[in-house]
Amino acid sequence: MRILFLLISFVSFYTGVYCQEKKQALYISHLTGDFYVYTTSKIYDGTLFPANGMYIVTTKGVILLDAPWDSTQFQPLVDSIQRKHHQKIIMCIATHFHEDRTGGLEFFKQAGARTYSSYKTDELSKQKGEKRAETIFYTDTVFNVGEHRFQTYYGGPGHSPDNIVVWFGKEKILYGGCLVKSVEANDLGNLSDANVKEWPLTIKKIQRKFGQPLFIIPGHQSWMSKDALQHTLQLLKQHKQ
Protein backbone atom coordinates (compact mmCIF):
# COMPACT_ATOMS: atom_id res chain seq x y z
CA MET A 1 0.00 0.00 0.00
CA ARG A 2 2.87 2.38 0.88
CA ILE A 3 4.56 1.64 -2.45
CA LEU A 4 1.29 2.26 -4.31
CA PHE A 5 0.80 5.56 -2.45
CA LEU A 6 4.34 6.68 -3.29
CA LEU A 7 3.84 5.71 -6.93
CA ILE A 8 0.59 7.68 -7.17
CA SER A 9 2.23 10.68 -5.48
CA PHE A 10 5.15 10.55 -7.92
CA VAL A 11 2.87 10.34 -10.94
CA SER A 12 0.75 13.23 -9.64
CA PHE A 13 3.86 15.35 -9.02
CA TYR A 14 5.33 14.54 -12.42
CA THR A 15 2.05 15.29 -14.16
CA GLY A 16 1.75 18.62 -12.32
CA VAL A 17 5.28 19.63 -13.28
CA TYR A 18 4.74 18.53 -16.89
CA CYS A 19 1.50 20.53 -17.19
CA GLN A 20 3.07 23.55 -15.54
CA GLU A 21 6.02 23.50 -17.94
CA LYS A 22 3.62 23.05 -20.85
CA LYS A 23 1.57 26.08 -19.77
CA GLN A 24 4.73 28.18 -19.54
CA ALA A 25 5.49 27.69 -23.23
CA LEU A 26 5.21 30.45 -25.78
CA TYR A 27 1.92 30.46 -27.69
CA ILE A 28 1.52 32.52 -30.87
CA SER A 29 -1.93 33.03 -32.39
CA HIS A 30 -2.81 34.75 -35.66
CA LEU A 31 -5.17 37.67 -35.06
CA THR A 32 -5.75 39.12 -38.53
CA GLY A 33 -3.58 40.15 -41.46
CA ASP A 34 -0.09 40.98 -40.20
CA PHE A 35 -1.14 40.88 -36.52
CA TYR A 36 -0.28 38.16 -34.01
CA VAL A 37 -0.93 37.73 -30.28
CA TYR A 38 1.64 35.88 -28.23
CA THR A 39 1.11 34.53 -24.72
CA THR A 40 3.47 33.37 -21.98
CA SER A 41 2.76 32.52 -18.34
CA LYS A 42 4.38 33.10 -14.97
CA ILE A 43 3.60 32.18 -11.37
CA TYR A 44 1.35 34.83 -9.81
CA ASP A 45 -0.25 34.30 -6.38
CA GLY A 46 0.80 30.67 -6.48
CA THR A 47 -0.67 29.79 -9.88
CA LEU A 48 0.42 30.10 -13.48
CA PHE A 49 -1.15 33.17 -15.03
CA PRO A 50 -1.06 34.06 -18.77
CA ALA A 51 0.13 37.40 -20.13
CA ASN A 52 -0.51 38.67 -23.67
CA GLY A 53 1.64 40.71 -25.99
CA MET A 54 1.26 41.44 -29.69
CA TYR A 55 3.49 41.77 -32.72
CA ILE A 56 2.97 43.18 -36.20
CA VAL A 57 4.86 42.10 -39.29
CA THR A 58 5.77 44.99 -41.62
CA THR A 59 7.94 45.36 -44.70
CA LYS A 60 10.53 47.09 -42.49
CA GLY A 61 10.57 44.48 -39.73
CA VAL A 62 8.49 43.39 -36.74
CA ILE A 63 6.91 45.71 -34.17
CA LEU A 64 6.62 44.20 -30.69
CA LEU A 65 4.11 45.49 -28.13
CA ASP A 66 5.38 44.55 -24.67
CA ALA A 67 7.79 41.75 -23.86
CA PRO A 68 7.01 38.20 -22.70
CA TRP A 69 6.35 37.99 -18.98
CA ASP A 70 8.33 34.76 -18.80
CA SER A 71 11.95 35.80 -19.43
CA THR A 72 12.84 32.30 -20.63
CA GLN A 73 10.66 33.04 -23.68
CA PHE A 74 12.52 36.16 -24.87
CA GLN A 75 14.81 34.23 -27.19
CA PRO A 76 12.16 31.69 -28.29
CA LEU A 77 9.97 34.62 -29.38
CA VAL A 78 12.83 36.07 -31.45
CA ASP A 79 13.52 32.65 -32.95
CA SER A 80 9.85 31.96 -33.67
CA ILE A 81 9.39 35.28 -35.48
CA GLN A 82 12.56 34.74 -37.51
CA ARG A 83 11.53 31.22 -38.45
CA LYS A 84 7.91 32.08 -39.24
CA HIS A 85 8.30 35.47 -40.94
CA HIS A 86 12.01 35.72 -41.82
CA GLN A 87 12.00 39.12 -40.12
CA LYS A 88 13.79 40.74 -37.20
CA ILE A 89 12.16 42.68 -34.36
CA ILE A 90 12.99 46.32 -35.04
CA MET A 91 11.04 48.05 -32.28
CA CYS A 92 9.51 47.20 -28.90
CA ILE A 93 7.03 49.43 -27.05
CA ALA A 94 6.31 48.97 -23.32
CA THR A 95 2.78 50.01 -22.35
CA HIS A 96 3.47 50.56 -18.62
CA PHE A 97 6.27 50.18 -16.11
CA HIS A 98 5.49 46.80 -14.52
CA GLU A 99 7.91 43.92 -15.08
CA ASP A 100 5.48 41.98 -17.29
CA ARG A 101 5.74 44.86 -19.80
CA THR A 102 9.26 46.30 -19.36
CA GLY A 103 11.19 43.19 -18.27
CA GLY A 104 12.43 42.43 -21.78
CA LEU A 105 13.44 45.93 -22.85
CA GLU A 106 17.16 45.42 -22.31
CA PHE A 107 17.09 42.01 -23.99
CA PHE A 108 15.35 43.30 -27.11
CA LYS A 109 17.64 46.31 -27.26
CA GLN A 110 20.62 43.96 -27.26
CA ALA A 111 18.87 41.90 -29.94
CA GLY A 112 18.81 44.96 -32.21
CA ALA A 113 15.35 46.44 -31.59
CA ARG A 114 14.79 50.08 -30.74
CA THR A 115 12.89 50.25 -27.45
CA TYR A 116 10.21 52.81 -26.59
CA SER A 117 8.08 53.92 -23.66
CA SER A 118 6.20 57.01 -22.57
CA TYR A 119 7.82 59.60 -20.33
CA LYS A 120 5.56 58.55 -17.45
CA THR A 121 6.62 54.93 -17.85
CA ASP A 122 10.29 55.88 -17.96
CA GLU A 123 10.02 57.97 -14.79
CA LEU A 124 8.29 55.16 -12.90
CA SER A 125 10.72 52.55 -14.26
CA LYS A 126 13.59 54.68 -12.98
CA GLN A 127 11.97 55.06 -9.55
CA LYS A 128 11.06 51.37 -9.23
CA GLY A 129 14.27 49.92 -10.65
CA GLU A 130 12.61 48.37 -13.69
CA LYS A 131 14.16 48.11 -17.18
CA ARG A 132 14.03 51.34 -19.18
CA ALA A 133 13.53 52.08 -22.86
CA GLU A 134 16.14 53.93 -24.88
CA THR A 135 13.60 56.16 -26.68
CA ILE A 136 10.96 58.19 -24.84
CA PHE A 137 7.81 59.81 -26.24
CA TYR A 138 6.30 62.66 -24.24
CA THR A 139 2.82 62.85 -25.78
CA ASP A 140 0.44 60.60 -27.70
CA THR A 141 2.45 59.61 -30.74
CA VAL A 142 1.69 58.37 -34.27
CA PHE A 143 4.11 55.84 -35.74
CA ASN A 144 4.45 54.89 -39.41
CA VAL A 145 6.40 51.69 -39.91
CA GLY A 146 6.40 50.15 -43.36
CA GLU A 147 2.79 49.91 -44.48
CA HIS A 148 1.35 50.17 -40.97
CA ARG A 149 0.26 53.27 -39.05
CA PHE A 150 -0.66 53.28 -35.36
CA GLN A 151 -0.86 55.61 -32.39
CA THR A 152 -0.22 55.46 -28.67
CA TYR A 153 -2.83 56.98 -26.38
CA TYR A 154 -2.79 57.88 -22.71
CA GLY A 155 -6.36 58.22 -21.43
CA GLY A 156 -5.45 58.55 -17.74
CA PRO A 157 -4.52 56.32 -14.80
CA GLY A 158 -6.09 52.95 -14.17
CA HIS A 159 -4.19 49.73 -13.59
CA SER A 160 -1.11 51.95 -13.21
CA PRO A 161 -0.46 55.70 -13.38
CA ASP A 162 1.19 55.41 -16.80
CA ASN A 163 -0.79 52.74 -18.71
CA ILE A 164 -1.17 53.50 -22.42
CA VAL A 165 -3.08 51.75 -25.18
CA VAL A 166 -2.09 51.35 -28.83
CA TRP A 167 -4.61 51.86 -31.63
CA PHE A 168 -4.46 50.58 -35.21
CA GLY A 169 -7.13 52.63 -36.96
CA LYS A 170 -7.26 50.87 -40.32
CA GLU A 171 -7.73 47.44 -38.73
CA LYS A 172 -9.68 48.75 -35.69
CA ILE A 173 -7.42 46.87 -33.28
CA LEU A 174 -7.07 48.17 -29.73
CA TYR A 175 -4.12 46.83 -27.80
CA GLY A 176 -5.26 47.58 -24.26
CA GLY A 177 -2.52 46.01 -22.17
CA CYS A 178 -3.20 45.69 -18.46
CA LEU A 179 -5.52 48.70 -18.42
CA VAL A 180 -8.15 46.46 -20.01
CA LYS A 181 -9.43 43.34 -18.27
CA SER A 182 -10.34 40.18 -20.16
CA VAL A 183 -13.95 39.02 -20.02
CA GLU A 184 -12.46 35.93 -18.38
CA ALA A 185 -11.32 38.03 -15.38
CA ASN A 186 -13.34 37.84 -12.16
CA ASP A 187 -11.62 40.76 -10.46
CA LEU A 188 -9.27 43.69 -11.15
CA GLY A 189 -6.11 41.75 -10.35
CA ASN A 190 -3.01 43.55 -9.10
CA LEU A 191 -4.07 46.91 -7.60
CA SER A 192 -0.73 47.86 -6.01
CA ASP A 193 -0.32 50.85 -8.34
CA ALA A 194 -3.94 51.24 -9.46
CA ASN A 195 -6.20 54.26 -9.34
CA VAL A 196 -9.66 52.67 -9.17
CA LYS A 197 -11.36 56.06 -8.90
CA GLU A 198 -9.98 57.35 -12.21
CA TRP A 199 -9.91 54.00 -14.02
CA PRO A 200 -13.57 54.10 -15.21
CA LEU A 201 -13.08 57.61 -16.60
CA THR A 202 -10.01 56.42 -18.49
CA ILE A 203 -11.90 53.49 -20.03
CA LYS A 204 -14.77 55.77 -21.08
CA LYS A 205 -12.32 58.17 -22.76
CA ILE A 206 -10.96 55.27 -24.77
CA GLN A 207 -14.48 54.17 -25.75
CA ARG A 208 -15.33 57.69 -26.94
CA LYS A 209 -12.08 58.07 -28.86
CA PHE A 210 -11.93 54.72 -30.62
CA GLY A 211 -15.56 53.70 -30.95
CA GLN A 212 -16.16 50.00 -31.53
CA PRO A 213 -12.89 48.09 -32.03
CA LEU A 214 -13.03 44.84 -33.96
CA PHE A 215 -10.36 43.37 -31.69
CA ILE A 216 -9.39 44.23 -28.11
CA ILE A 217 -6.25 42.69 -26.63
CA PRO A 218 -6.12 42.77 -22.79
CA GLY A 219 -2.88 42.27 -20.89
CA HIS A 220 -3.91 38.93 -19.41
CA GLN A 221 -6.19 35.97 -20.07
CA SER A 222 -8.52 35.51 -23.05
CA TRP A 223 -8.56 38.13 -25.84
CA MET A 224 -11.36 36.58 -27.93
CA SER A 225 -14.15 38.99 -26.93
CA LYS A 226 -14.97 42.51 -28.10
CA ASP A 227 -16.64 43.24 -24.73
CA ALA A 228 -13.44 43.66 -22.69
CA LEU A 229 -13.83 47.43 -22.20
CA GLN A 230 -17.38 47.08 -20.94
CA HIS A 231 -16.38 44.14 -18.75
CA THR A 232 -13.62 46.26 -17.23
CA LEU A 233 -16.19 48.90 -16.32
CA GLN A 234 -18.41 46.23 -14.76
CA LEU A 235 -15.53 44.91 -12.63
CA LEU A 236 -14.76 48.47 -11.50
CA LYS A 237 -18.42 48.96 -10.57
CA GLN A 238 -18.40 45.73 -8.56
CA HIS A 239 -15.19 46.75 -6.81
CA LYS A 240 -16.70 50.08 -5.81
CA GLN A 241 -19.77 48.39 -4.40
pLDDT at residue 12, rounded to an integer: 36
Phi, psi of 154 (to 5 degrees): -105, 110
pLDDT higher than threshold 50 for residue 1: no
190 classed as catalytic:
yes
Any domain includes 153: yes
Any domain includes 8: no
Confidence (pTM):
0.89
Give pLDDT tens digits for 124-165: 999 999 999 999 999 999 999 999 999 999 999 999 999 999
pLDDT higher than threshold 90 for residue 7: no
Give pLDDT tens digits for 194-216: 999 999 999 999 999 999 999 99
In the set 34, 66, 70, 100, the catalytic residue is 100
Give pLDDT tens digits for 225-235: 999 999 999 99
98 classed as catalytic:
yes
148 classed as catalytic:
no
Any domain includes 3: no
14-23, 103-112, 169-178: segment of lowest average pLDDT: 14-23
Residue span of the structural domain in which 116 resides? 27-240
Any domain includes 69: yes
Any domain includes 75: yes
Ranges assigned E (strand) in the chain: 27-32, 35-44, 47-58, 61-65, 89-93, 114-118, 135-137, 142-145, 148-153, 165-168, 173-177, 215-218
Any domain includes 19: no
Any domain includes 17: no
Give pLDDT tens digits for 14-49: 333 333 344 448 999 999 999 999 999 998 878 899
In the set 52, 66, 70, 96, the catalytic residue is 96
How much is the mean pLDDT over the chain?
A: 91
The DSSP call for residue 46 is: T
pLDDT at residue 164, rounded to an integer: 98
Any domain includes 187: yes
pLDDT at residue 17, rounded to an integer: 32
Q: At CB < 8 A and 24+ separation, what contacts does 136-144 make?
A: 143/63
In the set 190, 193, 195, 239, the catalytic residue is 190
Q: 65 pairs with which residues across the strands?
A: 54, 93
Strands, sheet with 27-32, edge to edge from the N-terminal-most edge strand: 27-32, 35-44, 47-58, 61-65, 89-93, 114-118, 135-137
130 CB-near residues (< 8 Å, 6+ apart): 97, 98, 99, 102, 103, 124
Element (H, E) at 23: helix 2-23
In the set 52, 98, 122, 163, the catalytic residue is 98
Give pLDDT tens digits for 59-103: 999 999 999 999 999 999 999 999 999 999 999 999 999 999 999
CA distance 175 to 172: 10
Q: 5 or 122, which is more confident?
A: 122
pLDDT at residue 46, rounded to an integer: 84
Amino acid at position 142, single letter: V
Neighbours of 198 (CB within 10 A): 14
Domain count, the chain: 1
In the set 148, 159, 220, 231, the catalytic residue is 159
Q: Where residue 176 sits, what CATH number does that domain have?
A: 3.60.15.10
